[in-house]
Amino acid sequence: MAETESDSDSDDGHGDRLKVAISGGSMGGLFTALALDDADRAVDVEIFERSTGELRSRGAGIVAQPTILDFLDAHDIANPEELTTTTTTRQYLDREGAVERAYEESMAFTSWDGLYRRLGDAVPDENYHLGRTTISIDGKGTRTDEVDTESSRLTNGGRGERATLRFENGEILRTDLAVVAEGGQSGSREELLPDVKPEYAGYVAWRGVTPEGSVSASVHEQFEDTFTFYEGSEDLVLAYLIPGPDDSTAAGERRLNWVWYDPIERGERRGLMTDIDGRTHDFSVPPGKLRADVEEALLAAAEERLPGVFDDLVRATDDRFVQTIYDLEVPRTTFGRVCLLGDSAFVARPHTAAGTAKAAADGIALADALEASDRIGSALDDWERTRGKAGRRLVAEGRRMGENYMH
C-alpha cells in the first residue's frame, strides 16, 4: 500500500497547539486523552486504536480506586455512585464454605466495560480512530535531552522535533508527542525495548461474570455486600458484585464477578492458550473461547478444590475465560518524543487491583507535567521520574503479594 504522510500541525491552522497522538484507545489512552484535553494548555489529542469495533471487555470487575472515581467526578463523566457497587465486609471462607474470618472494609467496584464506555463517550468520535494499528514509532532521539532544544518549546507546538507513527494502512503521522498506551503486549514497546519481555508469574487467573440471579438464593446470600475470598493450599479465589451490563447497580440487576488464581506449569499453560477454534493466544483466551476439554478440567478442579459456593459460581457462569498473570517493567518510559504509559510500561499483578488506576494516574501526571513545563523534554523527564518510580513500586508490590498468596 502506498504511504501517505501527514504533519499534524501543518494543515489545520493551529500551529501553536501541542499535537499529541496516542497509540491504543483503552483505559490508558482514554484517561490520557481526557486529562490532556482538560489541561490548561492548548493540546490537540488523537487516539489510534487497533480494534475495529467496541473493545471487548478484557477485564470484568475492577476495584474502583479513588483515582478513577475522582477523575470521573472532576471531569463530569459520571456520578461515581451510579457506576459502582460497594461492600462493607471482607470475608474468608473455609473449604466447607463457612466464614472463617471477616472484618469491616469499605470497597467500591465497577465493571471494565462500563468504565470503558463512559470514558469513550467523553472523547469526541472525530478524535478516536478505530482500526488504526501502529506498526512503528520513532521519537527521534533516544534521550530526552537530545531533543530538548529551544525549538521544542511547547509555545511553538514543538515543531523542532517530532515523533513519527507509521500505521498498518501505510499512513505516516508526524506529531509533537506520541503516547504509547498499547497494553502489556505493546508492539511499539517491543520495537523500542526489544529485550523487555513479560515474565510469567507461575499462575493464571480463571475469570468470569454471571448475572446475580443465575446462582441460587443461598449462594447469592454468601456474596451479598461482601468481598469474599477462599485461600486453599494452591488456590486463591475471590468474588464481588459489579454493576449489570447496562451499568445498573439495583439489586437483581448486578453481576457476580469472580477470579480464581491457579498455579500452572509453564508447558501446561501453553496448552491452555489454544482456543476452541484452534487459535493459540499468547496470554489469554477470551470469554466463550475455552476448549471443551479445558472447561471440563476446570469444572472438575472447582468441584475438587473450591468451597461449594465458589464451585456453584464457576458452574453458573457461561463465558469463562483465562488470563496469564505476568510481571512487566521497563527500564525507561521516554524515548525522545515518545512515551510509554499504562500496561505498556508496567504490568503489576492484579492483586494490587491498581492497573486501571495506574493507567489513569500516568495520564493525569503527563497532562500535569506538560502544563508545568514549557519544554516537552523536561516535562517528560519530570513525568518519567515520578511515574517510573510509581510503576516499579507497584510491580514489586504485586510480586510480593503474589508470593504471599500463591506461596
Ligand X SMILES: Cc1cc2nc3c(=O)[nH]c(=O)nc-3n(C[C@H](O)[C@H](O)[C@H](O)COP(=O)(O)OP(=O)(O)OC[C@H]3O[C@@H](n4cnc5c(N)ncnc54)[C@H](O)[C@@H]3O)c2cc1C
Query: Interface residues with ligand X (CB under 6 A)?
Result: 23-29, 48-51, 55, 58-59, 62-63, 133-134, 181-183, 186-187, 205, 323, 342-344, 350, 353-357, 359
Residue among 172 and 372 whose Cβ is closer to ligand X: 172
How are strands ordered across the β-sheet holding 163-167? 4-7, 171-175, 163-167, 134-138
Residue among 50 and 375 whose Cβ is closer to ligand X: 50
Residue among 147 and 359 whose Cβ is closer to ligand X: 359
Cell of 370: 506538560
Is the Cβ–Cβ distance between 64 and 111 less than 8 Å?
no
Residue among 84 and 186 whose Cβ is closer to ligand X: 186
Residue 149 CB, shortest distance to ligand X, in Å, is 29
Residue 165 CB, shortest distance to ligand X, in Å, is 9
Collapsing DSSP states into helix, strand and coil, what is residue 208? strand
Is the Cβ–Cβ distance between 5 and 172 less than 8 Å?
yes
Residue among 23 and 222 whose Cβ is closer to ligand X: 23
Collapsing DSSP states into helix, strand and coil, what is residue 22? strand
User: Rounded to an integer, what distance in angstroms lies between the CA atom of residue 363 and that of residue 346?
Assistant: 14
Sign of CA dihedral 232, 236, 240, 242: negative
Residue 269 CB, shortest distance to ligand X, in Å, is 14
Is the Cβ–Cβ distance between 28 and 359 less than 8 Å?
yes
Count of residues for the chain? 407
Grid look-up 532544544 returns 149
User: Rounded to an integer, what distance in angstroms lies between the CA atom of residue 206 and that of residue 44?
Assistant: 40
Residue 381 CB, shortest distance to ligand X, in Å, is 21
Residue 38 CB, shortest distance to ligand X, in Å, is 18
Helices 27-37 and 112-122 pack at an angle, to 10 degrees, of 30
Residue among 22 and 93 whose Cβ is closer to ligand X: 22
Element (H, E) at 404: helix 376-406
Residue 366 CB, shortest distance to ligand X, in Å, is 13
Any idea what DSSP says for residue 246?
T
Residue among 154 and 314 whose Cβ is closer to ligand X: 314
Residue among 126 and 150 whose Cβ is closer to ligand X: 126
Is the Cβ–Cβ distance between 359 and 346 less than 8 Å?
no
Grid look-up 496469564 returns 324
Residue 329 CB, shortest distance to ligand X, in Å, is 13
Q: Distance between alpha carbon 328 and the CA centroid of its chain, in Å?
A: 13
CB atoms within 10 A of CB 308: 16
Residue 371 CB, shortest distance to ligand X, in Å, is 22
